[in-house]
């Protein structure tokens, strides 16, 4: 890829991220101060359950930080020049997911809308999120940075499903006007499967680039 093209591409990604991240911040702010009768919760009768309430607000309040923090970890400039910053942000990212966002996501997934398949999707996603983040942490400690990168890419792809799920829902609603629950059942799966496919592509692409660089060095 030419240098200019790469720059344009990266700028686009940053702008897109800022745009969608601020939308998610606004969604989170709907629940500040603590509000049981807004947006998603208006139709969610489970909010009357005490443990669901805890899980819901833990998830909403913690996940937004995961989304924002994770983005900085993929900026090569910070990774190379501010290793300590990378580590501190990384520790925060991992701790929040492992102790707050993923477990609360699993509980919410159990009560998910859209029937058994949707619940399965949410729970599976929460478990995969937990495992990939845990493994990424392990490999960072062991110094196996390629594997660390691979698992963190998957972990953040799952984090970004917060954006993609809502984006796909919007696209389907605007262009196909399907009934609301049909859309929901679709995006519950599409929202993270497509992200995983993209993550897999990124991992393959980066590893091939790395191999080529190593071969050139060897020559």
Partner 1 sequence: MKFIQYNLLILVLLSCSEQIKSNKKIQDEVMSAPGSQTNISKSDTLIVNNNIIIKNKADLIGNWVGWFEPDMGNQNNDLAVDDQIYWGRENKISLSIEDIEGENVKGHSVVAGNYRPFSGTISDSDTEYMITLKEPGDDKYDGSFQISMKKNQKIISGKWKAYKGIEINKRKFNLTKKLLKYNPNQLLEYSREYVDWTKLNTEKFREEYENEVFEYISTTFSSATESIYSINASNRKLSKKDLENLNKGDLLIIRNTIYARHGFSFKNRPLRIFFDAQEWYIPVNIDIKSNLTEIEKENIQLLLKYEKNAVEYYDSFGRG
* Tokens (6 digits) for 193: 């499967």
Within positions 172 to 211, which residues make up the interface with partner 1, using CB under 8 A?
A: 173-174, 177, 179-182, 184
Integer Rg of the chain from CA: 19
d(CA 189, CA 40): 19
Residue 36 CA from chain centroid, whole number: 25
Q: How far is the CB of 61 from partner 1 (least distance, A)?
A: 16
Residues 112-171 that bind partner 1 (CB under 8 A): 113, 166-167, 169-170
Residue whose CB is less far from partner 1, 99 or 117:
117
Question: Which single residue is written with the structure tokens 């890829």?
Answer: 1
CA distance 49 to 56: 10
Which residues ranging from 7 to 26 are in contact with partner 1 (CB under 8 A)?
Answer: 19, 22-23, 26
- Which letter, b or e, does each residue of 137-166 get, where b requires 16 or more Cβ atoms within 10 Å of its Cβ? bebbeeeeeeebbbbbbbbbbbbbbbbbbb
Q: Binder to partner 1 among 10, 35, 39, 85 (CB under 8 A)?
A: 39
Closest CB to partner 1 among residues 115, 201: 115
Between 52 and 91, how does the x/- string for binding to partner 1 read (CB under 8 A)?
A: ----------------------------------------
Query: CA torsion, points 66, 70, 71, 76, in degrees to nearest 10?
Result: 170
Q: What is the total count of residues that contact partner 1 (CB under 8 A)?
A: 24
Q: Which residues bind partner 1 (CB under 8 A)?
A: 19, 22-23, 26-27, 30, 39-40, 42-43, 45, 113, 166-167, 169-170, 173-174, 177, 179-182, 184
């Amino acid at each position: 890829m030419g240098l200019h093209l790469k720059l344009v591409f990266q700028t686009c990604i940053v702008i897109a991220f800022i745009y969608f991240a601020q939308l998610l911040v606004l969604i989170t702010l709907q629940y500040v101060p603590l509000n049981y009768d807004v947006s998603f919760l208006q139709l969610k009768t489970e909010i009357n359950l005490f443990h669901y309430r805890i899980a819901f607000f833990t998830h909403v309040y913690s996940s937004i930080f995961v989304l924002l923090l994770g983005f900085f970890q993929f900026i090569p400039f910070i990774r190379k020049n501010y290793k300590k910053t990378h580590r501190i942000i990384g520790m925060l990212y991992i701790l929040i997911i492992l102790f707050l966002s993923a477990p609360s996501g699993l509980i919410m997934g159990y009560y998910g809308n859209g029937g058994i398949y949707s619940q399965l999707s949410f729970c599976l996603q929460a478990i995969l999120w937990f495992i990939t983040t845990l493994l990424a942490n392990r490999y960072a400690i062991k110094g196996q940075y390629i594997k660390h990168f691979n698992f963190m890419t998957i972990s953040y792809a799952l984090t970004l499903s917060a954006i993609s799920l809502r984006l796909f829902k919007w696209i389907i609603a605007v262009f196909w006007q399907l009934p609301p629950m049909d859309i929901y059942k679709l995006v519950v799966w599409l929202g993270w499967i497509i992200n995983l496919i993209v993550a897999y592509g990124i991992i393959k692409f980066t590893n091939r680039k790395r191999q080529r660089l190593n071969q050139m060095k060897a020559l």
